[in-house]
Amino acid sequence: MNALPLAQSSLESRAATLDAAAVHAAHGAFLWATLQRLALAAALLLAAPTAAAQDAPHTLRLAWARGDGADLCPAQPEVMTAVRGRLGRDPFTADATTSAEVLIERAGRWRARLLFRDAAGAVLLRRELDDGAEDCAAITSAAALSVVLALSPDGPAPAAPPAPAAPVRDPEVAPPPAPRPPPAARPPPKRVRLVGSAELLWGALPRVAPGAALHVDLLLARRWAFSLGAALSPELRVDTWAFGLTRASASGCFRAHPHRRVELTPCAGVSFGLVHAVTFGPTPVEPGNHPWLAAHLEGRAVARVGGPWVAYAALGGAWVPLRQDFVVLRPGAASRSAYAQEPFAAWGSLGVGVEL
């Protein structure tokens, strides 16, 4: 192993080039030729170049961890399956003398930290990859590819054993390999969320009123959404009156944790609609439909339960500047107020939805 320090020192600059190539390889197959030419340099960083059979470890112990913001990224079993598919064999054993430690996290940009150790725990190779993509697919593929390259200097799952060749002095002039099929396309990000819910409404009607609501969220950017909604609270009879409310809303929402399984979303906007007033006794003054207007704040929680399906919960409150005072007339007596709307209203809702 006396040749290892010299191999690591002489190939330091080529290893930096390998890091960049690994990240971009996850975005397209056209960079695979560059990775193939640099595979020998990655293998030489892990073992002495004096014996071809020791260019890379045959087996490996893998410790794959997901850090802050990476809860929805692939877990270790998925990564191990991908590496086995690339190599065409299973390189993972519990008694392997070489280990790889990988941490995927998000701190503004996606980052992968890789650490390879020998049997004594000494660091053989330390690398860090980063990527500014919207999700973690590219950085995960790049980190997994780095593990593949460390295990196989000839690249993943060669179609046939390479023919003996003269020593290559400069990997950049080596003949390119046969083209590989492009990787499967990543699914596009979700752009629309449709939610239906049941709700309870306080303050807008004479008593607590049940109702139903429907809203559509347009996921315009990674952190922002625009929401359109409609709700109906059927008429509830109070003495000789019945009151109901139909309303619509428009809101702007901030997506606090768009990549986590549970997403918290504060929203602000306006609500407008009609109060339905019906009397069954004394003569009312101006019966029928009356306008209703409010400015509202709402907190939403969306939990991804599997596939496109989500569970939904929300709490909201509103200030009502446009209110009505419903008055009835009694023959031979002074008129009286049947119901005066409150200046504030609140609601809570539970529902299910789908992301498209």
pLDDT tens digit string along 311-355? 999 999 999 998 777 766 666 666 667 777 889 999 999 999 998
Q: How many CB atoms lie within 10 A of CB 319?
A: 12
| Domain 192-355 listed as CATH 3.40.50.720 | no
DSSP string, 190-204: P-EEEEEEEEEEESS
pLDDT at 296: 95
pLDDT at 315: 95
The token pair that represents 55 in the structure block = 């260019």
pLDDT at 319: 94
pLDDT at 149: 85
The residue-averaged pLDDT of 58-87 equals: 89
pLDDT at 25: 43
pLDDT at 353: 94
Residue 281 pLDDT > 80:
no
pLDDT at 282: 58
Residue 12 pLDDT > 60:
no
Are 83 and 147 in contact, with CB atoms under 8 Å apart?
Answer: yes
Confidence of residue 254 (pLDDT cuts 50, 70, 90): very high
Q: Where are the alpha helices (DSSP H) in the chain?
A: 3-10, 12-25, 32-44, 76-87, 137-151
Domain ranges of the chain: 3-173, 192-355
pLDDT in tens, 173-224: 566 777 777 666 556 677 899 999 999 999 888 889 999 999 999 988 778 8
Question: Model-level pTM?
Answer: 0.47
Nearest-CA neighbor of 201 among 152, 138, 247? 247
Q: 251: which strand partners?
A: 227, 269
pLDDT in tens, 221-248: 778 899 999 999 998 877 777 888 999 9
Say if 3-173 and 192-355 have the same CATH topology.
Answer: no
The residue type found at 89 is R
pLDDT at 29: 38
Task: Indicate the range of 132-136, 152-156, 276-280, 296-300 predicted with least confidence.
Answer: 152-156
The CATH code of domain 3-173 reads 3.40.50
Task: Indicate the range of 23-27, 55-59, 253-257 predicted with least confidence.
Answer: 23-27
